[in-house]
Amino acid sequence: MSVGTGKRPRDASMSLINELLERPIDPGYAAAAQRRAREGASTAPRPSSGLVVVTLLVIGLVFGVSARTLGARETERSAARADLIEQIEARQDRADANAARVSELQSEVALAQEQILRDTAGPAAAGITSDLLSTVGAVPVQGPGLVITVDDAPFDESTDPAARNEGRVLSRDLQIVVNALWAAGAEAIDVNGQRLTSRSAIRFAGEAILVNYRPLPRPYVIRAIGDPDRLESQFTAGDGGAYLKALSDNFGIRANVLTEEEITMDSASALRVENAAPRPAGAEQ
Amino acid sequence: MIPAIALIVGLIIGLVLDPSVPVWMQPYLPIAVIAALDAVFGAIRAVLDGIFDDKVFVISFLSNVVVAALIVFIGDQLGVGSQLSTGVVVVLGIRIFSNVASIRRHLFHA
């Protein structure tokens, strides 16, 4: 193509695409037809020769085998997947059943302990022990109290990531609220159903807040059992209330404090005996 | 008519016999299917155009399959197997589309 003719198609550089779109048929057919025409042979197509039949047989075979092989691979995979899902669900059910059994046994143990103590050491000691058990979180507790719901600042698609991060509830926020509740006289606290004990940690792991090593979904519901009026007045007047207010003023974090007539908390499931020694024989009670 | 019957007979034999394909050959099966489809539609178009040639058909099918398999094989050796497979599928896919469009024009004049 000489320069200056000006006839060069604008898309000549896209020869591959032109080739594909304008002459998709195998050029071999056209070439063979031309050769036949040149040699003066018959241009009638011969689609039924043995060669063609055999090739089409092979092509059909390829289709059939592929349908079998690739289809089977897919069903194998989905069967394995269904099997795994079934296993996961079965184990989850078992874990839930076991957790229910654990808390059942724990309350049985607590009852038996109380019974033994009452028989051997008198009602006073039994009272002290049951107080201690509810303080450490070994038994389920019930009573009036305070419910504080804390949630991330509202955001939508247009909120930029930095602002979204600022509006997130941090483990530190929950720690401060919980400590303020203890200071206000709470007798038992749980966060999203995780009972806090003297050995519980509220911490961050990646994006999630962990309590008792369980990741919690938002919103975070902190429930405290105690004298509701005293809890509320002490909490809102003290550090906790001021902190929540600062959070909502500065970062838009939503917080909501309610008193509740009746709160029921499960026992902590992660408690275990770390230190125990048999009473020396013949020791006085 | 006979070629169509041959195709269906081959399909049924493949489905009924269900031969086990060795694992190393399985990545080439989808490519072989696409290449075979391309050859079949190219042949149908050539028949309708009145320029069908049995030798060209057989050779185009064989060379399609061999070249496609070769490209996938080399791609696997170079670590770009999936990209090259995509390339083969795109090129043959466009050809199949154009051939089917041409067949449609022949058959329905639309």
Q: How confident is residue A43, by pLDDT bands cut at 50, 70 and 90?
A: low
Q: What long-range pairs does B23-26 form, CB within 8 A, spacing at least 24? A: B26/A69, B26/A70, B26/A73
Give the count of beta carbons closer than 10 Å to the beta carbon of residue A32: 20
On whether residue A66 sits in a domain, the answer given is: no
Tens of pLDDT, residue by residue over B83-105, are 888 888 888 888 888 888 888 88
Instruction: Say whether pLDDT at B22 is over 90.
Output: no
How many interchain CB pairs under 8 A, A with B? 149
Number of domains in chain A: 1
pLDDT of residue A4: 46
Q: How confident is residue A97, by pLDDT bands cut at 50, 70 and 90?
A: very high
On whether residue A92 sits in a domain, the answer given is: no
On whether residue A62 sits in a domain, the answer given is: no
Tens of pLDDT, residue by residue over A210-245, are 888 788 888 899 999 988 888 888 888 888 888 888
Q: How far apart are CA A129 and CA A118, in angstroms?
A: 10
Instruction: Say whether pLDDT at A23 is over 70.
Output: no
Whether residues A45 and B10 touch (CB distance < 8 A) is answered with: no
Whether residues A60 and B3 touch (CB distance < 8 A) is answered with: no
Q: Quote the tokens at residue B99.
A: 């051939």
Whether residues B40 and A32 touch (CB distance < 8 A) is answered with: no
Torsion of CA B67, B5, A42, B96, to 10 degrees: -40
| Chain A residues whose beta carbon lies within 8 Å of the beta carbon of residue B33 | 62-63, 66
Listing DSSP states for chain A in one string gives: --TT-----TTTT-HHHHHHHH--S-HHHHHHHHHHHHHT------TT-HHHHHHHHHHHHHHHHHHHHHHHHHHHHHHHHHHHHHHHHHHHHHHHHHHHHHHHHHHHHHHHHHHHHHHHHHHHHHHHHHHHHHHHT-S-EEEEEEEEEEEPPP--TTS-HHHHHHTSPPHHHHHHHHHHHHHTT-SEEEETTEE--TT--EEEETTEEEETTEEEPSSEEEEEES-HHHHHHHHHHSHHHHHHHHHHHHH--EEEEEEEEEEEEPPPTT-------PPPTT---
On whether residue A249 sits in a domain, the answer given is: yes
Tell which of A17, A29, A35, A54 to mutate to test the B interface (max B CBs under 10 Å). Answer: A29
Q: Quote the tokens at residue A49.
A: 């020769």
Instruction: Say whether pLDDT at A109 is over 70.
Output: yes
Pair B65, A61: CB distance under 8 Å: no
Of the candidates A20, A31, A43, the beta carbon closest to that of B91 is on A20
Q: State which residues form the domain around A195.
A: 143-265
Average pLDDT over every residue of B57-85: 86
Report which of A232, A254, A71 is spatially closest to residue A149, judged by C-alpha positions: A254
Q: How far apart are CA B67 and CA A2, in angstroms?
A: 35
Share of chain A above pLDDT 70, in %: 83
Instruction: Say whether pLDDT at A21 is over 80.
Output: no
Q: How far apart are CA A257 and CA A143, in angstroms?
A: 17
| Chain A residues whose beta carbon lies within 8 Å of the beta carbon of residue B91 | 20
On whether residue A7 sits in a domain, the answer given is: no
Q: How confident is residue A93, by pLDDT bands cut at 50, 70 and 90?
A: very high
Share of chain B above pLDDT 90, in %: 0
The ipTM value here is: 0.83
CATH number, domain containing residue A165: 3.30.70.1880
